[in-house]
């Protein structure tokens, strides 16, 4: 484990999402969604169940049908697949009513948001109530007229002094960011900001990768992949200067959060399992999708990237075996 929270933050013009310049990342995220869905389902059981009590909060909201809506926020939702899944889960369990429960996805990538909207309004119009908003998470939510009405009452003097119809808002009951915080410069500030947007008793869930090679981090499933993965992960780690996944727990504890847990999650890449095979394909797509950014930054060349892809297309097979590690951080804001 390594950390250097004192490292200078990335400059403002740093385009931090390493796969963000390519529209092809939507395909990769669909595959990544399939890889991570079972573990997301497990986390949702903990969050909905007695441990974090979200189902109970929603039931109370549905019963009383007055007061603030129950709000769930997917921060950095990409094309919205996890939010779509979550909506289905709530529906199945009788925990959804469009009048009481609001499900909101935010992403700065306009084409991801357009795809998410197109999906729920056209391709699968069964959940048209899902709200997808294009917003840069590094900017205050107050600046976005669609988000402003959802915010809790102002708490700091400068917020009190500023204009803005926040009084009708009330904040969020559950905020999650799935593989997002690590891509955002100054992640600690933003996680603290998201925490401040929770209602009392609200829950936060963050999942981020461990960027270091080794038994607590990742092992490349093919030798040729190791140097490239090392560059991609170092690029991600450099955004904040340390593994966000390893430190989020401390930030939430400092804020006085309750029930703070950091749970490691190891995902196979390669081997014979379906998850491992999907992860292998995901890694190849990661190489392809991150190439433009790494070339632009002189971290690799187009020739090197193409040579690696050629090797991978030729040699990748279930005999290649590696793994990756994420940390799931869960916490709840105290009620009082
Ligand atoms: C690895 S993807 C994860 C997407 C989705 N949460 C998932 O797990 O499928 C990271 C997402 O964060 C988004 N993102 C990166 N920086 C962002 C920012 N500053 N504001 C909003 N979204 C951002 C990217 O556009 C991308 O969709």
Query: Does residue 19 lie within any of the structural domains?
Result: no
Closest residue to atom 27 of ligand 1, CA basis: 78
pLDDT for 169 equals: 64
- Mapped onto helix, strand or coil, the DSSP state of residue 198 is strand
Question: Is the CB of 112 within 6 Å of ligand 1?
Answer: yes
Question: Is the CB of 238 within 6 Å of ligand 1?
Answer: no
Query: Does residue 308 lie within any of the structural domains?
Result: yes
Across 228-245, average pLDDT: 95
Query: Does residue 88 lie within any of the structural domains?
Result: yes
Angle formed by the axes of helices 25-48 and 110-118, nearest 10°: 70
Question: Is the CB of 181 within 6 Å of ligand 1?
Answer: no
Question: Is the CB of 179 within 6 Å of ligand 1?
Answer: yes
Centre of ligand 1 to C-alpha 254, Å, is: 25
> In which band, very low, low, confident or very high, does the pLDDT at 236 lie, cut at 50, 70 and 90?
very high
Query: Does residue 292 lie within any of the structural domains?
Result: yes
Mean per-residue pLDDT of the chain = 89
Q: Which domain holds residue 197?
A: 25-139+171-332
Q: Is the sign of the CA dihedral 42, 43, 48, 49 positive or negative?
A: positive
Model pTM score: 0.91
Q: What is the pLDDT of residues 12-50, one digit of tens each?
A: 455 678 887 667 788 899 999 999 999 999 999 999 999
CATH number at residue 135: 3.40.50.150
Closest residue to atom 14 of ligand 1, CA basis: 76
Contact 293, 19 (CB under 8 A): yes
Query: Does residue 87 lie within any of the structural domains?
Result: yes
Query: Does residue 95 lie within any of the structural domains?
Result: yes
Question: Is the CB of 187 within 6 Å of ligand 1?
Answer: no
Q: Output 64 or 218, whichever has higher pLDDT.
A: 218
Ligand 1 pocket test: which of 105, 108, 236 has the largest number of ligand atoms within 8 Å of its C-beta? 108
pLDDT for 166 equals: 39
Residue 58 has pLDDT above 80, yes or no: yes
Q: What is the pLDDT of residues 254-297, one digit of tens each?
A: 999 999 999 999 999 999 999 999 999 999 999 999 998 899 88
Nearest atom in ligand 1 to the alpha carbon of residue 74 is 6
Question: Is the CB of 141 within 6 Å of ligand 1?
Answer: no
Question: Is the CB of 80 within 6 Å of ligand 1?
Answer: no
d(CA 230, CA 284): 14
If one counts the domains in the chain, the total is 1
Question: Is the CB of 190 within 6 Å of ligand 1?
Answer: no
């Amino acid at each position: 484990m390594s950390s250097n929270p004192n490292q200078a933050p990335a400059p403002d013009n740093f385009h931090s999402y390493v796969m963000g310049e390519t529209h092809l990342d939507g395909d990769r995220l669909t595959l990544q969604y399939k890889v991570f869905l079972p573990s997301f389902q497990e986390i949702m059981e903990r969050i909905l169940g007695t441990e974090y009590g979200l189902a109970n909060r929603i039931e109370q909201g549905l019963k009383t049908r007055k007061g603030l809506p129950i709000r769930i926020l997917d921060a950095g939702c990409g094309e919205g697949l996890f939010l779509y899944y979550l909506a289905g889960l709530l529906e199945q369990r009788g925990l959804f009513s469009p009048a009481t429960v609001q499900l909101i996805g935010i992403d700065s990538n306009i084409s991801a948001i357009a795809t998410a909207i197109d999906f729920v309004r056209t391709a699968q119009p069964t959940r048209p109530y899902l709200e997808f908003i294009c917003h840069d998470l590094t900017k205050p939510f107050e600046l976005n007229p669609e988000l402003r009405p959802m915010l809790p009452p102002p708490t700091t003097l400068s917020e009190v002094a500023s204009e803005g119809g926040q009084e009708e808002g009330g904040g969020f009951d559950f905020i999650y960011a799935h593989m997002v915080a690590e891509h955002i410069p100054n992640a600690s500030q933003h996680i603290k900001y998201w925490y401040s947007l929770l209602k009392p008793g609200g829950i936060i869930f963050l999942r981020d990768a461990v960027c270091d090679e080794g038994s607590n981090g990742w092992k490349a499933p093919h030798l040729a992949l190791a140097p490239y993965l090392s560059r991609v992960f170092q690029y991600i780690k450099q955004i904040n200067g340390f593994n966000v996944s390893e430190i989020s727990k401390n930030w939430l504890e400092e804020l006085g959060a309750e029930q703070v847990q950091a749970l490691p999650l190891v995902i196979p890449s390669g081997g014979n399992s379906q998850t491992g095979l999907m992860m292998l394909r995901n890694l190849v797509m990661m190489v392809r999708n991150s190439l433009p950014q790494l070339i632009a930054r002189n971290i690799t060349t187009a020739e090197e990237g193409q040579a690696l892809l050629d090797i991978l297309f030729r040699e990748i097979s279930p005999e290649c075996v590696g793994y990756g590690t994420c940390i799931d951080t869960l916490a709840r804001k105290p009620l009082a």
